[in-house]
Structure 1
């Protein structure tokens, strides 16, 4: 029986701790989608990235949750390029990855930190606090008092961005079944809930991400959602840079840095980045 090595990397870790585990499999040109899905299910982390050759970019990368393939995954992208640098397959510099969300740029710093470009935001439906609040176990008025919209936004995957007041985030009780039904009905991946922090804190906002519809009850760092949230905070509050904390409630605190490029009052680039840390290697049977 053939075996495949899967590297586990903590993406968006803080000094080597916390972060979000992603699987990375290199040299996957001969693996079928069925095999990739089987590997991702056996690995059991929220996403596994499969790196292969591309005739359109430096690498082709596909992303599988334990239950389904997704078009893009931020933390698995960071893990993949951090690992390629860690294993000295690439040097620091600028690269392009071919994904189902398009060809996206990735920058690898000398210290191994990764800054990845995402798609420019696509703004979708807005929802009412009354629709969303029961699925998070909070009162609708707590969500609506921020004055910010509940909105579906995509910089690669469609997430519903939901504001809650400072101090409420850790007490949320997500109804996974209800969120799954809602996301399937509205063609979105998950709920990205955030609370803005006081200006003196090091993090712009703290976040939680619930994506049970794609097999992720809660995730400790979500790169794609962070890009969408950065664009949202720019549009409604004028932020151009933001640093997010995620995973605190899971005891897996993560740090996600975002940077927007604006030229002639137009948003031209969305980037999300952070550090990685090696966890271990798993051998998976095909």
Structure 2
């Protein structure tokens, strides 16, 4: 059986950079074992599998090279952008069924894809000392941000780690240390960020490490960007619209937009959006 996989970079900056994802359509008859085998052959951080659904417009499942995950932002963007580019759907609003729930996806006339994410859950928090030992930045330096280190999920639980300006690119991740920590605390990965000065076109620059799921580092993380937007709305007065840069340390810069709506300081809506680059195809034999 030959499986066609669409390859597309998501969250590109002017058509360049981005995070590659695989997309498989008509995946209704594929087993989870087959999906995992395909994701491993593709070799990207995530591959999305699109099936029919009785209630939603589509059912979408997401596999890394090691396991299925409940949700993936950049693979969602890749999926709906590809369907739009191929003429399978038109601009408008759609609903996807994921293991993180039923989530709306909007395709704007210019091709930008904006996805809804789950409302934020603050799951845990960690001391500066605990995180310092894992990412190799002194606890006093982490503490100088005067911001907490929290686990937030808008679909997947990631650890939000603020660092002072100038420290982000210097991080040399230890995959084993991070993976062991994430396994122990049942989180997906570390989302480390440094804030830009007010007036910049970017809100923050980010790096994401998820070696427990076979991702040493990735250049754009949609789910963690939604969580970061909620974190910033909670702790800083930066407005409700954010632009994140990610992948700079990988020479693969990505641009991710995020927005939140709040009511009496409670987040009532989370959206993450972006563009994709050119589309390619590969075939895998099962």
Deviation at 1:141, TM superposition (A): 1.2
The aligned residue for residue 254 of structure 1 is 254
Q: Which 5+ residue runs of structure 1 have no aligned equivalent?
A: none
Give the whole-Å Cα distance in 2 for the aligned partners of 1:131 and 1:6: 41
Deviation at 1:264, TM superposition (A): 4.9
The aligned residue for residue 66 of structure 1 is 65
Residues 1:194 and 2:227 are matched in the alignment: no
The aligned residue for residue 50 of structure 1 is 49
Deviation at 1:74, TM superposition (A): 0.3
Give the whole-Å Cα distance in 1 for the aligned partners of 2:252 and 2:52: 33
Give the whole-Å Cα distance in 2 for the aligned partners of 1:129 and 1:278: 41
- With normalisation by structure 1, the TM-score equals 0.98
How do 1:205-216 residues align onto structure 2 when only pairs under 5 Å count?
Answer: 205-216=204-215
The aligned residue for residue 12 of structure 2 is 13
Give the whole-Å Cα distance in 1 for the aligned partners of 2:279 and 2:81: 12
Q: Which is worse superposed, 16-25 or 133-142?
A: 133-142
Give the whole-Å Cα distance in 1 for the aligned partners of 2:135 and 2:18: 23
The aligned residue for residue 22 of structure 2 is 23
Does the 8 A contact of 2:57 with 2:95 survive in 1? yes
Once the two structures are superposed, residues 82-115 of structure 1 have per-residue CA deviations (whole angstroms, 9 ceiling, x without a partner) of: 0000000000000000000000000001121100
How do 1:99-118 residues align onto structure 2 when only pairs under 5 Å count?
Answer: 99-118=98-117
Once the two structures are superposed, residues 174-220 of structure 1 have per-residue CA deviations (whole angstroms, 9 ceiling, x without a partner) of: 11101111111111000000000111321100000000011100010
The aligned residue for residue 183 of structure 1 is 182
Does the 8 A contact of 2:6 with 2:282 survive in 1? yes
How do 1:160-239 residues align onto structure 2 when only pairs under 5 Å count?
Answer: 160-239=159-238
Give the whole-Å Cα distance in 1 for the aligned partners of 2:31 and 2:232: 40
Deviation at 1:274, TM superposition (A): 0.4
Q: Which 5+ residue runs of structure 2 have no aligned equivalent?
A: none
Give the whole-Å Cα distance in 2 for the aligned partners of 1:7 and 1:37: 16
Deviation at 1:134, TM superposition (A): 2.5
Give the whole-Å Cα distance in 2 for the aligned partners of 1:248 and 1:264: 36
Q: Number of residue pairs matched?
A: 285
